[in-house]
Structure 1
Amino acid sequence: MTNKKYDCSKSTNMVLRRANLRDSCRERVKLRLIECGWRDQVKMACRNYLNDPNTKHTFDELVQHVTPKARELVPIAVKKELLTDLQAGLTELADL
């Protein structure tokens, strides 16, 4: 099952790259996340995690700790916009 999921993801990624949808969607999401303050929230989560003076943290530990929180902080509206953009782009490609 994992191989099928990986193959599907890999195929979708290739199609998105060829149609230049991947880059345009990434850029749009990046801008939307900055606009909605997500980036600042993630920075604050990183600072809060690193502010403990009694422990030293590695980069990998920081990423492990902050990634789930960062994913939760992505606004639903941004997720829906990305999904809509991808569906529209893939539908357009299918119609060609």
Structure 2
Amino acid sequence: MISTRCVLSPSSCDTVLGLLKKTLEKSSSITIDSKHSVNRPPTPDEDDVADGFEKDKVTLREIINVKLVESGEKENLMELVRDRLVECGWKDEMRIACREHVKKKGRKDVTVDELIRVITPKGRASVPDSVKAELLNRIQNFIVSAAL
């Protein structure tokens, strides 16, 4: 199983976070709480617990997503995943699973929402590890190159 956690060393993660923080603070009014961790959810401050979480705090995931979108890399990654899933036959497997579910339940008795609810866990579980690893590697490379 491929881990989605940061595989950079702690000092590398700190460097990446620091550079991302500086870049974002220069380009916008976003501030980043240095207390947030790459590997676990943020620990709330006592003030946050009393007042509720502030809506304007940005997570590392959100920062990376913004940078991926701004650079156009997110679309490239989406295309890569689509291509790899077609190449390995995953898309055909999901199409067959959908048809089998519709056949079992009856065409008139199946909604799109139900089909999504039933097929999504199977689809996520059946994505090949090689596709996950390639995507993770590309994202890590993007993070490192964006920080330089």
TM-score after normalising by structure 2: 0.58
1:28 aligned onto 2:96: no
Moved more, 65-74 or 47-56: 47-56
Query: Structure 1: which 4+ aligned runs deviate by more than 4 Å?
Result: 1-4
User: Could you tell me which residue of structure 1 aligns to residue 142 of structure 2?
Assistant: 89
Change (3 A) 1:84 1:54: closer
Aligned to 1:67: 120
2: CA distance, partners of 1:47 / 1:54 = 9
How many corresponding residue pairs? 94
Q: Is the 8 A contact 1:21 1:86 kept in 2?
A: no
Q: Which runs of 5+ in 1 are unaligned?
A: none
Match of 1:57 in 2: 110
* More helix by percentage: 1
**3-state SS, counterpart of residue 51 of structure 1:** helix
| TM-score between both structures, scaled by the size of structure 1 | 0.87
- 1:54 Cα deviation (Å)? 8.6
Which residue identity does 1:71 align to in structure 2?
A: R
What's the CA shift string for 1:30-74, capped at 9, x where partnerless? 100000000000001101110023970111000000000000110
CA separation of 1:51 and 1:91: change in aligned 2, threshold 3 A? same
Give 1:8 deviation, angstroms: 3.2
Larger displacement relative to structure 2 (75-84 or 20-29):
20-29
Per-residue CA deviation, residues 3-42 of structure 1 (Å, 9 max, x unaligned), is: 79x8333222111111221011111111000000000000
Q: Which has the larger radius of gyration?
A: 2
Aligned residues with identical type, % of pairs: 34
Structure 2 unmatched runs, 5+: 1-40, 43-52
The corresponding residue for 2:133 is 80
Which structure exhibits the higher relative contact order, with contacts defined as CA atoms closer than 8 Å and separated by 6 or more residues? 1
The question of whether the paired residues in 2 share the 8 Å contact of 1:17 and 1:23 is answered with: yes
